[in-house]
Amino acid sequence: MSVPVSVWAPAAGEVVLHLPAAGTTAPMVAGEGGWWHSPEPLAPGTDYAYALDGGAVLPDPRSPWQPHGVHGPSRTFDTGAHEWADAGWAGRSVLGAVVYELHVGTFTAAGTLDAAVDRLDHLAALGVDMVELMPVAAFPGSAGWGYDGVALYAVHDVYGGPAALQRFVDAAHARGIAVCLDVVYNHLGPSGNYLGAYGPYFTDAHETPWGSAVNLDGADSAEVRAFIIDNALRWLREFHLDALRLDAVHALIDDSPTHILAELSDAVAALEGEVGRPLSLIAESDLNDAVMVTPTAEGGLGMTAQWADDLHHALHATVTGERHGYYVDFGPAEVLAKALTDVFVHDGTFSTFRDQVWGAPVPPDVDGRRFVVFAQDHDQVGNRALGDRPSRVLAPGQLAISAAVVLLGPGTPMLFMGEEWGATTPFQYFTDHSEAELARSVSEGRRREFGTHGWAELYGRDIEVPDPQAPQTLAASRLDWDEPARPDNARLLRFCTDLVRLRHTEADIASGDRSATAVRVADDGTWLVLTRGAIDVVLNLAQTPARVPLEGVGEVLLEWEPVRGTDGPDGTWADVPGHGVAVLRRS
């Protein structure tokens, strides 16, 4: 089926279509609102590009495919050509789902979407409900995290291109697994970003950590907003995706009467009604404010869920003892208890790291499943100096504790690839920039970034920050699929699988009712009991055995090490081994 191509270039006096394979050009036809249209539709698989007012030949801002890299011509793609096999797929909301974040390039040795399909049976056996792909929008070079993407409508060719994403989604749905895609609308990468040549996509009226902000509220911003909303709807409709994770939405600065997130939320809700299956939006927000997940009809931004970093910080600081950087306000078990019950640790309280009061309380009636929680993710692992995982320093029992907190708490749990077996491979920051100056800047910037953070003191030795441009940095970050069969790793994998099973089968654990969640902490902080309805999750945070008082022992649903429960005249308690976990149903 031939594909018409169009481009928005409101200030251009002339736009010429270039067809490099044929060696021909044709003038585009001017339309309304600054749009230009091809005189004839193009066949699928046709390479094309544009030149504005006799300038350089540039790729299409809405290119579906960049097989020649982000600086080369675009290629047409017929999204309707795929014969979908998921007609029976009813969809899956993110609320309460067991989410699994993965990076396509390091999830397998081949680093492609088709290779990732071969590991979907592992995820299905684990009980994963939703896979979250780190960004696949085309970015410079062959390797990277994807947060410097510049062709937001294209699927990175090294991963297999757009057809491979359709195959992956179809294969996941066949196994009962929903698919979420991480999308980045708050900035574009520095290499291959040609949007500014076409129109006012950026504005100096606002600043972000990446420079000029996306133009969401200035002159001609209506088409910029449409660029974002059309992109989101395209992934959900034409690629059958179930959810989108929106990167760093606090950097989407918008003073319009209707915030872009609220507009997007309403548009996705309308599409949800059209396709007849749940569609979710998940916001990464640093604001610690439940307005993010408040319905638009109530004045909120309407996101289905948002990432909640505070549980990660509290859990990581508790089990590792780290207190540097933003962990300075975290660590005691009481802080972990607050994160489990109140969602945000900083909820209108003073943040030492930010040096200001931060956040707002979460209303008690807000469903806990609105908050995605985790013990690891790409940021919290990859933005450490060595990209090392908690498995570098934690005992197997401490990894079991972390998994239990995330998978049995009231939030929507997320695992980071390999976490389920205690992967020891790091996840480091890697890039593949061909421009020598940019490559040098990235490498030197990474070294400077970690030069003053006290990492040598933390690691107990001088460290060499991995060079993002070095091939071995990418190679070291690939998962080792031999690990899950090793005894300690296999044991943790079985335990995580059992935790997921409890989440799927026990209504008290699956519930997001925060009023039915309570936490008791030992006076000395050595143990913690998380109560979810009639179920107690007993965690011994210490290395030595602990006697934990309980209201009733009842049935043991799961334990990391054997736990002995006793009913006596002085009360009921459980004797829990060091770094032990026990999940008990009260009698």
More confident: 551 or 21: 21
pLDDT band at 379 (very low <50, low <70, confident <90, very high): very high
Q: How far apart are the first and last CA of the chain?
A: 64
User: Does 339 belong to an annotated binding site?
Assistant: no
Q: Is 132 a catalytic residue?
A: no
User: Does 232 belong to an annotated binding site?
Assistant: no
User: Does 248 belong to an annotated binding site?
Assistant: yes
* Helices 260-275 & 221-238 angle (0-180, nearest 10): 30
pLDDT at 566: 79
**Tens-digit pLDDT profile for residues 401-436:** 999 999 999 999 999 999 999 999 999 999 999 999
**Tens-digit pLDDT profile for residues 264-306:** 999 999 999 999 999 999 999 999 999 999 999 999 999 999 9
Q: Which of 148, 182, 223, 284 is catalytic?
A: 284
pLDDT at 453: 60
CA 438 to chain centre: 26
Distance CA 279, CA 265 (A): 10
pLDDT value at 256 more than 60: yes
User: Does 379 belong to an annotated binding site?
Assistant: yes
User: Does 469 belong to an annotated binding site?
Assistant: no
pLDDT band at 571 (very low <50, low <70, confident <90, very high): confident
The CATH architecture to which 513-585 belongs is Sandwich (2.60)
**Tens-digit pLDDT profile for residues 188-236:** 999 999 999 999 999 999 988 888 899 999 999 999 999 999 999 999 9
Residues comprising the chain, all counted: 587
Residue 411 CA neighbour count, 13 Å, CB half = 29
User: Does 523 belong to an annotated binding site?
Assistant: no
pLDDT at 325: 85
Judged by average pLDDT, the poorest of 37-51, 67-81, 434-448 is: 434-448
pLDDT at 193: 96
Average pLDDT over residues 6-32: 98
Closest CA to 409 of 515, 289, 537, 309: 537
Q: Is 449 a catalytic residue?
A: no
Distance CA 49, CA 71 (A): 10
Buried b (16+ CB within 10 A) or exposed e, 360-399: eebeeebbbbbbbbbbbbbbbbbebbbbbbbbeebebbbb
Distance CA 216, CA 57 (A): 27
Distance CA 483, CA 424 (A): 8
User: Does 204 belong to an annotated binding site?
Assistant: no
Amino acid at 80: G
Which residues have CB under 8 Å from 196's CB, separation 6+?
202
**Tens-digit pLDDT profile for residues 315-332:** 999 999 999 888 999 989
The model's pTM is 0.97
β-partners of residue 283 are 246, 306
pLDDT value at 39 more than 70: yes
User: Does 156 belong to an annotated binding site?
Assistant: no
In the numeric block, the tokens 């319905």 are attached to 295
Q: Which of 47, 182, 247, 329 is catalytic?
A: 247
More confident: 316 or 462: 316
Buried b (16+ CB within 10 A) or exposed e, 330-343: bbebebbbbbbbeb
pLDDT band at 184 (very low <50, low <70, confident <90, very high): very high
pLDDT at 539: 98
3-state secondary structure 151-209: EEEEECHHHCHHHHHHHHHHHHHHCCCEEEEEECCCCCCCCCCCHHHHCCCEEEEEEEC
CA 376 to chain centre: 11
β-partners of residue 530 are 519, 537
pLDDT band at 452 (very low <50, low <70, confident <90, very high): low
- Boundaries of every domain in the chain: 435-469, 513-585
User: Burial, 447: exposed, middle or buried (Cβ in 10 Å; 0-12, 13-18, 19+)?
Assistant: middle
- Two structure tokens written together for 100: 């699994």
pLDDT value at 369 more than 80: yes
